[in-house]
Amino acid sequence: MRAALAEARKGVGRTHPNPAVGAVIVSGGRIIAAGWHKGAGLPHAEIEALRALNRSARGATIYVTLEPCSTHGRTPPCCDAIAHAGFSRVVYGATDPNPKHAGRADKLLAGHGIKVTSGVLGEECAELNRHWNKWIATGLPYVVAKAAMTLDGRIASHPESRWLSNERSRREVMKLRSRMGAIMVGGETVRIDDPQLTVRGMPVAKQPLRAVWTRTGNLPASARVLQSPDPATVFQNVPLARALRQLGERGVPSVLLEGGGRLLGEAFDRKLVDEVCLYLAPMIAGGPTPTVAGRGVGASVEGFALESVSYQRIGDDVCLTGRVARN
């Protein structure tokens, strides 16, 4: 299963709106073929592994990071292909998060006399597709709040540069963007910073959708996010929760909120954030612009606690990531 996970990681950020999935075929205790899902509309990992196989699969075992699909979507159900190939056993990690499909593969495969084992490295396999899992289960995209900030919690620009974080941190942000379905900023960020909201300096299968959340709609016509091709989707005077749901309805499984303070404040006030990614620059700025505005909380016990927290030193910067704990 670890080998299947290694295959699945090759697809992270490249398969929207599908999950990243890997598969390996084992016979006689050896891996004899492997495959990973390369993109929506393309063969699933199980089919890629079968195509890489230069012999019969009869009697072999296939390890898959996600429960094999049992319904016909853009491609035929993998359960049918597995049954026809003659596998004696299927081992998978994470159960399909869609309650209509969860566990259905077990029954279908067992009906063909195939032994099924599930839940192997299940948490790791589910973690790989946490964005997709939430979107499938709720229709809402997984929301990551990202900001570069000073040690005193400000997003004001350095006097000599618009950047707070260093160049290495900015390269890491590009990697983060490449794994997201959409990037959203507030109207003030567009007016002040004129961002592009694109992935640059690295290959990407598809640029994330760009979105702007604005109360007034007063955006400069020259803003780079509004230029063709693929101008940003503008949500004017729309509740943020509704804007996120509309993105989910468009097949966007994850959204990166990149500021400013009003947008992040609204997201936290409405309890819409699933994960945070903060780049802390070693400076004090002062000034009136907080990283997270909004109403805030009345007491510290009402604050948003983080779990699965990690810290990464990037030159002089520190990147803090964590999941918002759900009480």
Active-site residue, from 7, 46, 67, 258: 46
Task: Give the closest residue to 232 by CA, choosing from 208, 206, 205.
Answer: 208
Cβ neighbors of 25 (< 8 A, separation 6 or more) are 31, 32, 33, 34, 49, 50, 53, 57, 60, 61, 62, 63
Q: Using alpha carbons only, how large is the chain's radius of gyration in Å? A: 22
Told to judge if 46 belongs to the known catalytic residues of this protein, a careful annotator would answer yes
CA–CA dist 133, 208 (Å, integer): 19
Task: Give the closest residue to 140 by CA, choosing from 251, 238, 291.
Answer: 251
Cβ neighbours around 280 below 10 Å, total: 22
Cβ neighbours around 9 below 10 Å, total: 14
Amino acid in the structure at residue 165: S
β-sheet with 254-257: strand ranges across: 233-236, 209-214, 182-186, 254-257, 142-150, 275-281, 317-324, 306-314
Peptide bond into 68 cis (omega under 30): no
Tokens 């056993």 belong to 89
Catalytic residue numbers, as ranges? 46
